[in-house]
Amino acid sequence: MSSRNSIYLILIFIGGVLWSGCGGSLAEKLKNIPTAIGSTNQVTVISDDEIWDGAVGDTFKYLYEGAYPMMPQPEPLFDVRHYSPYQVASESVRQELRTYIYLADLSDTSSLSTKQVIDDLGKEILVRARTDPGFSNKIGRDKWARGQIIFYVLGMGKDQLAKNIDASFPGIAKRIHDFDASQIRAKTYLSGENKVINSLISEKFGIDLNIPADYKKAIEDSTTLWVRRDLADLTSSLLIHTVKYESESQLSKEGIKSLCDEITRKYITTNTPGSYMLINDVDLPMYVYKKDIDQAYTLEARGIWEMKYDYMGGPFFAYLLKDPQRNRLILIDAFVYAPGKEKRDFMQQLEYIVNQLKFTDNI
């Protein structure tokens, strides 16, 4: 063997020793860091029992366990659980969840929650909380496991903490929903995409809409397409319809309700003679919001539907979009029938599908 090859082998040997001494320990550390577990909409609160059992905890529960919009039976925005810092430390699996919110009264320096927050964020957090009236929360990542998000909601005194919980709620709720989006997508498209229906929608309506593979075509004619997913205890549906744009009155609460009822009365029925689907805004109101989807003016309606002359009903949302390229409106009516089951997660999956909509130049 030449001296050059010998030197080369020695260098390889030394590199291997260095890797096993340094890189190996790093790999071992990484291997020992678990991946966070948990489902969408789950929030774990860490706080002292005194905080959770009092007015501060009541404020948190009122907001985060408030009703998800327009369900036949109340369902919470988030599934909330609470642990004290001691409970989290005593059970390792409680450190491996996806979404945490610390609640800490920073004026109580003997509090275990406060001590943990200071360890995580540094002592300067106390100075900022005292001097910055607008300061209410911080965000951290991967404290105990990969794929974690941690919100720290802070206040100098219980009253300030309660106010900061209220003030930070919209922003934190949105961040949690954004954080959950990848998991919602994974659940929605667990079976893949239905490329045949996707192509049909593109050609027929001039929009890109990615329909999951387990949805099937139920009805199609020149203006309308109904696709649905049928499981043993669940039906999820998307009804797509196009109509000529004639006046601004169509883009109103009365306009979207009238169009929804007209289309579902024509297409959605059961085995009961004379039955048809309509919006029930007597038992619960129908709410209407304005939004943009792919830069298109959109009216969103939310409420509950029922079958006339039959005992069926459930939640729905409908988007009425003004096509920015053509003189027409597109209605997408999304609804779920799942008797005896919670429906929030299924509605979120439908929302994920529709909110990815993009206009094309196909027609």
Query: Domain limits of the chain?
Result: 1-32, 42-188, 195-359
> What's the start-to-end Cα distance of the chain, in Å?
73
Q: What is d(CA 47, CA 138) in angstroms, rounded to the nearest whole number?
A: 15
Residue 8: predicted pLDDT: 41
> Contact, 303 vs 279, CB < 8 A?
yes
Residue 229: predicted pLDDT: 97
> Contact, 148 vs 100, CB < 8 A?
yes
Q: What is d(CA 323, CA 313) in angstroms, rounded to the nearest whole number?
A: 30
Q: What is d(CA 278, CA 310) in angstroms, rounded to the nearest whole number?
A: 11
Q: What is d(CA 131, CA 52) in angstroms, rounded to the nearest whole number?
A: 26
Q: Which fold has domain 195-359?
A: Protein Transport Mog1p; Chain A (3.40.1000)
What residues in the chain have per-residue pLDDT under 70? 1-31, 363
Q: What is d(CA 332, CA 243) in angstroms, rounded to the nearest whole number?
A: 12
Architecture of the domain whose range is 42-188:
3-Layer(aba) Sandwich (3.40)
Instruction: Write the burial class of residue 320 (CB in 10 Å: 0-12 exposed, 13-18 middle, 19+ buried).
Output: buried
pLDDT tens for residues 20-38? 344 445 455 555 789 999 9
Q: Which residues contact 86 (CB under 8 A, 6 or more apart)?
A: 112
Phi-psi category of 97—alpha, beta or left, where left has phi over 0 and alpha has psi -120 to 50? beta
Q: Would you state the structure tokens that stand for residue 289, as one six-digit string?
A: 């919001």
Q: In Å, how far from its chain's centre is CA 300?
A: 17
> Contact, 194 vs 181, CB < 8 A?
no
